[in-house]
Structures are given as C-alpha cells and as structure tokens.
Chains A and B, each alone.
Chain A
Amino acid sequence: MFSLARNELYRLFLSPLAWLILALSTLILAYLFLTHIDNFVQIQAKISAIPGAPGVTELIIVPLFSNTATILLLITPLITMRLIAEERRNDSLPLLLSAPLSIYQIAFGKFFGTLGFFIILLALICLMALSLSIGSAIDYGVITAGLLGLVLLVASFSAIGLYLSSLTKQPAIAAMTTFSGLFLLWIIDWAGTNQMAGESSGLFNWLSLLRHFETLLQGEVNSSDIAYYLIIISLFLTLTIRHLDSERLN
C-alpha cells in the first residue's frame, strides 16, 4: 500500500502538471498573502488602540487559509482525474489488479499518494504563514486548527475525486464531474441560508464542505466537523472499492 502511494506520488512529480500546479498555486497564494499583509499594515494603526482587536492570525493567516481552500477546490480535480481513469486509458490497471493486492490497498494507495502531494503544497503555504512569527506573535492554536481543516478538506476532495476517476476512462470527464461535485458541495448551503432569516435548512447546511471548514478556520475544533469529513472520506473510498470490485464481476 505504501509502495503504491509512493509510486503514485513519484509519478505525479514526473509529470510537469504537478510542478506547474505547485508553482502556480504557490504564486497566487503568495500574492494574496502579500495583499493581506498590505491591508493589515494599513489598518493596523486604527485597530491597535482597540482592546481585544483581531491580530495578525485573524487578519492574515485565516484569510490566507480560506483562499487556499478555494484554490484547492480548483486544483484537486486536475490532480485526481488521472488516478484511475488514466491507468484505464493506458491499460496499466491490470498490473495492479493481477498483483497480490486487494482492491482496498489499491484505493488507499492512490488516495494517500494524492494526499501526500497536497500535504507538500500545504506545507509550503504553512511556511508562508509561519514566516510572520519572525515579526509578530501568532496564535499557533488557530493555525493548527486551520491546517487540520485544510488537510481534512483536501482529503475529502481527493476521496471524491478518486471515486469519480474510477467511474470513467476519460480523465477530462473525471475532472469535470469532480469539479462540479465539489463545487456543488461547496455551495450547497446557499440554498439553506438564502431562506427567510433563521429558517435555514439543517440538512443542506450540514452537507456543505465549506460550512464545516469555516468553524475549524476560526480555531474551533468540533468533533462533529471532523466526523463529517471522516464520513465523507470513508464513504467515497468505500464507493471506489465497491466500484472497482464490481467491475470485475460485471
């Protein structure tokens, strides 16, 4: 399973796509990071007098993490689309299927390989945030909660992407369906909150990927949010395993 994950990650970095995605998303986020700093510097004088005013963490790092989540939403489909769809197109899937591996090892291997890539990306962004500690005090608790949120978020994205990639032979179709699926889950709570004041739909709110991320981003670690992500991840990994299994039967 780990050799599979390592191989997946290694092959990802052999393609220019991974490097490009890594470079461009770091560039965009660095730019956003700078604008947040700029904003902060401008308003710093005004808010410094207010006791209990938001600090560097709330005004720079939290928005940065929130931007990161949006960027991840856009790039995850590009990374996950090739996971199984491309293997199928290149006829390399029999290599894994005829090896003494169980389907769950294949699914988990691919999942963790992808997650590894995103953790590298998140580490770069985290370094960006931590660089602020040189000049200011930052709230490590909030950062840890935010990072946990990002990891869980991107793990759910990857699980959804993996499942949709297992359904098709065309990476482009996998990318498109993954993007639509993720976007829908992202905005699904709009339907809930746009109703009359207070009358929000509990189910749609609960389904939203973003909703659970926001609380984590504020430094609030609720077991219900973590459970939500773990449910999403295991649901889609199970669906992937079931689909690959049923393919042998039908």
Chain B
Amino acid sequence: MTTTTLLKADGISRYYGSHRAVDNVSFEIKKGEVLGFLGPNGAGKSTTMKILSGNLSPNTGEITINGFDLLSQPKQAKAHIGYLPEQPPLYKELTVIEFLRFCSQINNINPSKRSQAVDSVIERCGLTDVSNRLIANLSKGYQQRVGIAQAIIHTPAVVILDEPTSGLDPIQIREIRQLIRDIATEHSVILSTHILPEVQMLCDRVQIINQGQLVFTDTIAALSQYMQVSNLFVTLTNPPNISTLQQLEGVLSAEQLSSNRFRLHYHPDHNPTENLLNKAVSLQWKLTELSPEHHSLEDVFMNIIQHESSAKPESM
C-alpha cells in the first residue's frame, strides 16, 4: 500500500536578524496522518507553522504541498492548506455565517458549492446554534471553533493548527480536541503544541523541536519509551522500615518522601510491582497508592536533548 506524501519540507531555515528561529528543518506528512509538533515556548514552532502556511518565507529550503511548490506556485499550494494561527484570524464584527461565507469566497470555492460548504463546516464544528451571532460576542472556545471552521472550509489536504487549545478552559479543551480528532479522519493535520498529553492523545507521529532544530522524530510509542522512568511512588499507611523496601527484589534504591510515602527506583528489566503488592498484603503494610512516575515534558526534553548531544560525538 502506498501512501502519498502531502506536505514535504526540505531543509527550511529562517532567521530573524542574526537569530536563527528555525534551523534546517526537514520533514514530511503523509495522507491521513496527524503530526504533533512539540516544543517549549520559543522553540520555533509558530515560525515553522507560519512558513508552512505561506505567511513567512523561509530563508532557505523548499516546501511542497500536494505536489505544488509553496514558493513558486503559492496560489495552487495554498489552496491545499488550511491554517489556524495561534490567534484565530477573525473579523469579529461579522456573524459566524457571514465570516465563513467570506472565507468560502477567498478560498476559491466554486460559487455553486459555497453555501453547502458553509453549512457543512458549521455543522462539523458545532456552530449551528451560534451561526447568526457576532463573533465578537462568542466565548473563546467558540471563536477557536470558528477559527478551525475557517481552516477546513475548503477541505484542504493539510490542516495546520498552531496551539489550538491555548487559553481555553478544560471543558473547551476537551471539545476542541474532540473536534481535531474528527478533522483528522478526513484531513492530514499538523498540530503544534507544548502540551505533551495532547500529542499523546491526538497524534500518530511526533516531532520535537528545540531552539529551531528538530531533535526527535518518531512515533508516539517511541516517545513513550523516553517517558518511561523506572520509579514507583508508594504510599503505605503502615510502612515498614525503609531498608525492608530496599531489599525487595528488583529495587535498586528507596527514598523516603514523607513519613509514609516512598519513591522506589528499580531495574528497568525487573519490575518489583507484583512482589511489592504481595508483600504489602501479607505483611499488612496497607497500600494506598502505587503509581509509576511520569516524566514531565521538561524531563523528556532534557532526556532527548541530552541523548542528542551525547550521541553526536560518537557519530562524528
């Protein structure tokens, strides 16, 4: 089975003065894929998104969208992308339906199909109830939906979403994520974010960008490996002596965090969970918490970046 490459970025770099915001980034996205673009703030995510959407020109490099070169055939290429910047680009004095009608016009949708496109996008993005309200009066979550509607109205091959959930409340975030998942069934999506769980939840593949450079490109499963830590948090109401815990099979070291909470570091090949559970029951330690430690995004970054810098000298 062959999957077509919809978007291909080849060696793109972008300087702001002497500052290198994006440094020789290459990647591609295939049909039906959701690609997560992960990175701390200021890593060059938004710049990359702007370049991919044609809002900024790269200083070097090429971008091909559905076979069209973004720099030499911008019109044809842009017809195949939908872009939602960090700030949704909305004319707030228009109603939702007026705004989307305008978007259908500037995106060269065939006049006879415009109203159909507007109707279907309103339904897909759950905007039916607010379609006649002014965008300025909508909540941020709904404004974000209008922004997404604007990006998918012309059924582009690739949808680029730049931090679509920033500044929303938890319920709105959940709704927007659901919407992104729906969109992903019909379009390829590039999603930039600094929220790790979002990537795990939505994406097939993830790329981590740091200081303008891609430091990691792999599947979600591979990312999870980076996140695996061989630590367990244990809370026992009736704890034994710490040395008892240290002597459990597989445990390399134990650390007391409070009077009854411990962190156990174990050998990756030898998970002591089962052993610990048995002991806790038979010796009546009264286990109340047992959880594997998760790396925060920062830790993963540090891990990956350290991994990169230690791997480089060897390869040279």
Contact = CB atoms under 8 A, between A and B. Distances in A.
Instruction: Tell me whether A and B are bound partners.
Output: yes
B94 A102 contact: no
A15 interface: yes
Interface in A1-46: 3-4, 7, 11, 14-15
Contacts of B89: 90-95
B94 A94 contact: no
Interface string A71-113: 0000000000000000000111111111111100000000000
Contacts of B50: 94
A10 to B, nearest CB: 8
A219 B120 CA distance: 56
Given A3-B106, A94-B85, A102 B91 contact: no
Nearest to B93: A14
Contacts of B150: 95
A96 B54 CA distance: 11
B226 interface: no
Interface string B95-121: 000000011011110000000000000
Interface string B10-30: 000000000000000000000
Interface string B55-84: 111000000000000000011101101110
A225 to B, nearest CB: 36
B210 interface: no
B75 A248 contact: no
A91 B87 contact: yes
Contacts of A203: none
B231 interface: no
A90 to B, nearest CB: 7
A4 B106 contact: yes
A15 B102 contact: no
Chain A, interface residues (CB within 8 Å), range: 20 to 34
B116 to A, nearest CB: 17
B88 to A, nearest CB: 8
A91 B91 CA distance: 10
Given A3-B106, A100-B75, A100-B78, A248 B94 contact: no
Contacts of B235: none
Interface string A184-223: 0000000000000000000000000000000000000000
Contacts of A98: 53-55, 78, 81-83
Given A99-B78, A100-B79, A11 B93 contact: yes
Interface residues of B, number: 30
Contacts of A4: 106
A90 B92 contact: yes
A96 B90 CA distance: 11
B57 A249 contact: yes
A176 to B, nearest CB: 24
B47 to A, nearest CB: 12
B143 to A, nearest CB: 12
A219 to B, nearest CB: 41
A248 B57 contact: yes
Contacts of A99: 78, 103, 106-107
B105 A3 contact: yes
A7 B57 CA distance: 27
B53 to A, nearest CB: 4
A91 B85 contact: yes
Contacts of B75: 100-102
A93 B56 CA distance: 12
Most buried by B among A94, A97, A248: A94
Contacts of A93: 89
Contacts of A249: 57
A100 B107 contact: yes
9 contacts: A14-B94, A94-B85, A95-B103, A96-B106, A97-B53, A98-B55, A100-B108, A248-B54, A248-B57
The 9 lowest CB-CB distance pairs between A and B, nearest first, are A3-B105, A95-B89, A91-B87, A98-B83, A100-B79, A92-B89, A100-B78, A98-B53, A99-B106
Given A14-B93, A94-B85, A100-B74, 18 more contacts: A7-B102, A11-B91, A90-B91, A92-B91, A94-B53, A94-B83, A95-B106, A95-B150, A96-B106, A98-B78, A98-B81, A99-B78, A99-B106, A100-B78, A101-B78, A101-B106, A102-B74, A249-B57
